[in-house]
C-alpha cells in the first residue's frame, strides 16, 4: 500500500502518503491501518517515526488511535466542522456580518435547489416529502418550532443536488443560522410560511422543474433575509 520513505522529514512523508490513500478512496472510514511494526517495514522507517506520523494524523482528525486488544489506528469519517468554525470566527470578529452570510446562503441554496430538481432520485423525493409532512403535522398540532424540520428539509435538498461541496456548505450555513432562528421563534407566520414554501419547493423538485425550484428558493430566502435585516 505504501512506498519506502527516502527523503525529507520522514514523519511528514508518512502523513502525506496516508492522506493521499484516504482522499483517493484506497482507505475508507472504519478501515484499520496495519500494525505499527508492519507500517515501519513498509515505509522503511523506525517505529518511532511511524508513531509520530500516526499522532499527527490523529491530531488532524483523519485517524483514531484505539488501545486494547482490538486497538490500532483506524480511519475516521472526515470532519468538516472547521468550515463552520471559520465562518463563526468571521462573524465573531466582525469580518463578516449575518447579512453577508444570508447573501452567500442565497447564492448557494438557489443553485442547490436547481441541481436538486435535475438530479433528485425517488429516495431524495421521499426524504423531502417526509420532512414537509412532519413539519405540517407539527404545525397543525400547535408546535410553532419548525427549526428541526427546516434543517431536515434543507439537508435533504442538499443531498438531492448530488454535489458534496454544496452539501457541506449548506450544512455549515444551517448550523450558524440555527442561532439566528432562535431569535425569531416561535412565530406563527414564519412557521406557516416555511411549511408552505417547502411544500412548493418539493413539488417543483418532484416535477424536475429546475427554473421554478430556483425561483421558489430565492423567494423563500428573500423572506428570511428580510427578517434578518430587522434584527441586525
Condensed to tens digits (0 to 9), the pLDDT of residues 26-71 reads 999 899 999 999 999 999 999 999 999 998 888 877 899 998 888 8
Position 5 in a domain: no
Residue 66 and residue 23 share a domain: yes
Residue 121 and residue 56 share a domain: no
Residue 111 and residue 60 share a domain: no
Q: What is the pLDDT of residue 229?
A: 77
CATH number at residue 123: 1.20.120.530
Residue after which a domain boundary falls, among 41, 75, 109:
75
d(CA 76, CA 221): 35
Structural domain boundaries enclosing 154:
81-231
Condensed to tens digits (0 to 9), the pLDDT of residues 168-217 reads 888 878 767 666 666 665 678 888 999 999 999 999 999 999 999 999 99
**Single pTM value for the model:** 0.65
Position 59 in a domain: yes
The grid cell for 66 is: 484505539
String of DSSP letters for 212-226: HHHHHHHHHHHHHHH
Condensed to tens digits (0 to 9), the pLDDT of residues 78-100 reads 665 666 677 777 767 777 787 88
**Burial level of 173, CB count in 10 A (0-12/13-18/19+)?**
buried
Tally of domains within the chain? 2
Nearest to 73 by CA among 84, 88, 85, 58: 58
d(CA 202, CA 134): 13
Q: Let me know: does 189 contact 97? Beta carbons within 8 Å.
A: no
Q: What is the pLDDT of residue 81?
A: 64
Amino acid at each position: 500500500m505504501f512506498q519506502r520513505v527516502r527523503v525529507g522529514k520522514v514523519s511528514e512523508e508518512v502523513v502525506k502518503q496516508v492522506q493521499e490513500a484516504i482522499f483517493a478512496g484506497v482507505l475508507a472510514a472504519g478501515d484499520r491501518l496495519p500494525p505499527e511494526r508492519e507500517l515501519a517495514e513498509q515505509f522503511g522507517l523506525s517505529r518511532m517515526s511511524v508513531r509520530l506520523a500516526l499522532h499527527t494524523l490523529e491530531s488532524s482528525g483523519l485517524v483514531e488511535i484505539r488501545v486494547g486488544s482490538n486497538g490500532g489506528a483506524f480511519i475516521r469519517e472526515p470532519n468538516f466542522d472547521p468550515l463552520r468554525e471559520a465562518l463563526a470566527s468571521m462573524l465573531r470578529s466582525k469580518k463578516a456580518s449575518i447579512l453577508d452570510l444570508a447573501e452567500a446562503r442565497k447564492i448557494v441554496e438557489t443553485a442547490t435547489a436547481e441541481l436538486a430538481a435535475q438530479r433528485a432520485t425517488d429516495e431524495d423525493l421521499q426524504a423531502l416529502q417526509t420532512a414537509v409532512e412532519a413539519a405540517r403535522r407539527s404545525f397543525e398540532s400547535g408546535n410553532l418550532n419548525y427549526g428541526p424540520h427546516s434543517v431536515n428539509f434543507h439537508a435533504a435538498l442538499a443531498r438531492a443536488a448530488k454535489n458534496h461541496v454544496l452539501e457541506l456548505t449548506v450544512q455549515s450555513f444551517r448550523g450558524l443560522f440555527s442561532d439566528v432562528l432562535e431569535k425569531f421563534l416561535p412565530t406563527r407566520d414564519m412557521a406557516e410560511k416555511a411549511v408552505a414554501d417547502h411544500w412548493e419547493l418539493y413539488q417543483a423538485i418532484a416535477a424536475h422543474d429546475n427554473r421554478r425550484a430556483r425561483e421558489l428558493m430565492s423567494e423563500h430566502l428573500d423572506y428570511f433575509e428580510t427578517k434578518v435585516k430587522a434584527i441586525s
